[in-house]
Structure 1
């Protein structure tokens, strides 16, 4: 595999790597996180988690000192420079051949990252979705381009202040330690929805902080409640429909591939006498097909911890991966 370090095709124009987009493409590679740097230096492919971390790093490099968010045309130069510098780790290849421009996947990730962090806190770009019901048109609630009906509410519920929201949050934390799951917990979770979203949407939030501040969000009942309100539809019904419509098609496709995973799924289904192995089996199939390490997708842990996190993994993996094959 050969790549010209001085020029990488930018669409059909073949823009030179020396073309300026200001100094936007001049990423300080010395600041790359160490766990990412070791792959780049060895010239090996980045695992999914390290690649995501690299994307975050590059975008942060592009928008320092309150610079405006970069345009796609500028990110194109950044992606091309990055791939030219580390082709063995970043170049899009299939069976040794360069795919497309060689940096399309990295460019898409950079664009998605910029889109995510630049999303408005208010619903200024909401659109009305019109659907047919019983032969008549009706209007659904406003949704943004990502399909969220309540990405970030503008204010707090009537009668609520920052102080009362903090009190309710601390009360919920105390109830969680006492293993309480009554109706009042559901009421308080809905009452603090706007504050939860503000925490989740903050640029530098950590999942570990969310687990401490809003532990009920990691329980099935309240995660579903939150998602239903965010998206304005029943997420479990949507997932069941996605499973029924898409998983069988994907598994039929994988049956024609030279992989052993499908056979293992069938054996597991016979042993358990149900279809549940298809869920985790599909993730395994996808990992095998794209030659990714399944350990980067599926977290293994002791049995006593599985029940606590199983739904969290099931929901995010199945909804974010399976429903993309629509």
Structure 2
């Protein structure tokens, strides 16, 4: 096995069997222990579990294998909680149940927009039931099957607006991201001058080279999130990542995080025209525009009551406060503000009038 890179199906089976064996001893192994398990597996079969794209090694595979083990443990324990709760079923409004069944049938059988107004009405009426399912940590794959219209762009934003108590969020967020991206890039470049020169060069030289290659400023606009993550010493690979266009989605989803994630099919963020949003490794939406895809992915954290990934938390929180403008005096959200994000927001306002 050491010289053979397993197929996605075989890799999933290895993960499944490993977790089953772990569960014989504990249901709560913790990430540190799972990392030890992953380390032992990779040490024994380095060639089989290394991260590679088209035969090019991009990592030893320990982190991606650890993440898969963590996701599998979380999913299995979540399923267990779901089965336990079935013995204590909450009362369901008969009318809501009728709406839900109609929506499921409509999604399967309808091929036109003639019942769209009714879909909107029923989706609005069943909002609380969907939120109840989400509060029970229902798997996204089950939500997708139970509420097939839920992940359509229109209804994701509709649910998001109810949660944050704002309106016209899609248009406003995409416009702000487009309008402020270059400005944020310039300010971050100025602020990053306090960092060691070798750190500055890595991301900014890459963007400068791409601007010269394309003969436009688009990379500065499209890659400001990369600069933002670099400023916070975070990893943009926990938000999105580019992959060769010939790479299959089945292969890609095996090595991406479980949290909302954007797969970019192409050579770079600035030139790609295919963006895939996955949640718990399930493809939920596809876009041809980067900001539309990112905006959709961002609101999914709120609709699905998910935490930002640890390695990109400040990056997302900055977007939340400075771009989505979710401050807690205007919304129903209750979250402690990150000091380093607030410091950057204040710096943005201070430098904004200068640059």
Q: TM-score, normalization: structure 1?
A: 0.46
Larger radius of gyration: 1
- Give the number of the structure whose residues are more often helix, by fraction: 2
For CA contacts below 8 A with separation 6 or more, give which structure has more relative contact order: 2
